[in-house]
Amino acid sequence: MSKSKLRNLSNLPSLGAGDKIGEGDTFIIYNLLPTTDEDVSDSRPPGDTIFHTLYNEVSWQKMYHAAGEVPRLVAVQGTIDPEGCKPIYRHPSDQSPPLLPFTPGVELVKKAAEKAVGHELNHVLIQLYRDGRDYISEHSDKTLDIVHGTKIVNASFGAQRTMRLRRKKKNVTLVDDNDVASDLSGQRETQRIHMPHNSIFVLGLETNRAWLHGINADKRIASERAAEELAFDGMRISLTFRYIGTFLSEDDSLIWGQGARGKTREKAGKVIVGDVIETENMIRAFGRENHQDEGWDWQEAYGQGFDVLHFLTS
């Protein structure tokens, strides 16, 4: 018996505008950028030109986790004040690209995203999915540095990819400092959301707490993919905007704000480098947020703050 073809992901059930996504604080908006704009000198509308604008203006770099190079290219931009201070978003990585000022195309998207969610966005992680083989493993965003009550905004330009949400396992307990999860309810609920060109997926913090999200690798051959998935030579640019409440000084020597030990600029502390215990404590806190839903408490996990930046200990 011959193997049946993989099911076309674009035709599987998915959620969209108007559907309840996650905990109900999450939604998708299509046509983020206008189809016509008299203020744009280019004769083509910004929704058509933005992918190529971003592709050419962003300084793409590699990023590394403990397991090796992540399967996509990345860049980081943000708001830098006149004194050179900038927001810092910490997540599981050994290194993060240097934060650069918003480039014009990214600024255009940022303003449209801010209008959609109604609050400031001062930091963006930009990622280039070069083809269907590039992916991001399921995870929860780490909220150590994300301002309470705000939204996480993921803008998509280029080829359509599919976001998958999956409920976290229940009955997570701590045994010998390791998170051990057991799911007694059987199959965990999963949701799928297509993210076409010129759309934004707005993730609420309650959904981030209770669900994992990720984009699987797509190994199907071209004939099994929809036209939207083949557009732009299969490449997708993702911009994840956040409102960050933790900050670094211009020379990266001082840290303060929501996720630091010193909560105000006047009480800024020195960035800690080489402290294995402090680094492991932050890693363990990140792991608990990634696995736990019920019983996870932000204040207990993060309230004391951390003054380390990433996972490097030397």
pLDDT of residue 1: 38
Cα of first residue to Cα of last residue in the chain, in angstroms, is 56
Q: Show the 3-state SS of the chain.
A: CCCCCCCCHHHCCCECCCCCECCCCEEEECCCCCCCCCCCCCCCCHHHHHHHHHHHHCCCECCEECCEECCCEEEEEECCCCCCCEECCCCCCCCCCCEEECCHHHHHHHHHHHHHHCCCCCEEEEEEECCCCCCEEEECCCCCCECCCCEEEEEEEECCEEEEEEECCCCEEEECCEEEECCCCCCCCEEEEEECCCEEEEEEHHHHHHEEEEECCCCCCHHHCCHHHHHHHHCEEEEEEECECEEECCCCCEEEECCCCCCCHHHCEECECCCHHHHHHHHHHHHHHHHCCCCCCHHHHHCCCCCECCCCCC
Q: What is the pLDDT of residues 160-193, one digit of tens each?
A: 999 999 999 875 444 444 333 444 445 789 999 9
pLDDT of residue 298: 95
Contacts for 122 with CB less than 8 Å, ≥ 6 apart: 78, 79, 87, 242, 243, 244
Please state, in angstroms and as integers, the Cα–Cα distance from residue 228 to each residue in 177, 236, 283, following that order: 45, 11, 38
pLDDT of residue 187: 76
Q: Cα separation of 50 and 35, whole Å?
A: 11
Q: Cα separation of 181 and 167, whole Å?
A: 12
Average pLDDT, the chain: 87
Residue-range domain boundaries for the chain: 17-252
Q: How far is CA 145 from the centre of its chain?
A: 13
pLDDT of residue 144: 97
pLDDT of residue 45: 75
Structure tokens belonging to residue 97:
């690209």
Q: Cα separation of 97 and 76, whole Å?
A: 6
pLDDT of residue 314: 46
Structure tokens belonging to residue 94:
């050994």
What residues of the chain score a pLDDT lower than 50?
1-6, 38, 172-185, 313-314
Say which CATH superfamily domain 17-252 falls into: Alpha-ketoglutarate-dependent dioxygenase AlkB-like (2.60.120.590)
The answer to whether 307 and 270 are in contact (CB under 8 A) is: yes
pLDDT of residue 67: 63
Torsion-angle region of 184 (φ positive above 0: left; ψ -120 to 50: alpha; else: beta): alpha
The answer to whether 208 and 25 are in contact (CB under 8 A) is: no
Q: What is the largest CA-CA distance in the chain?
A: 71
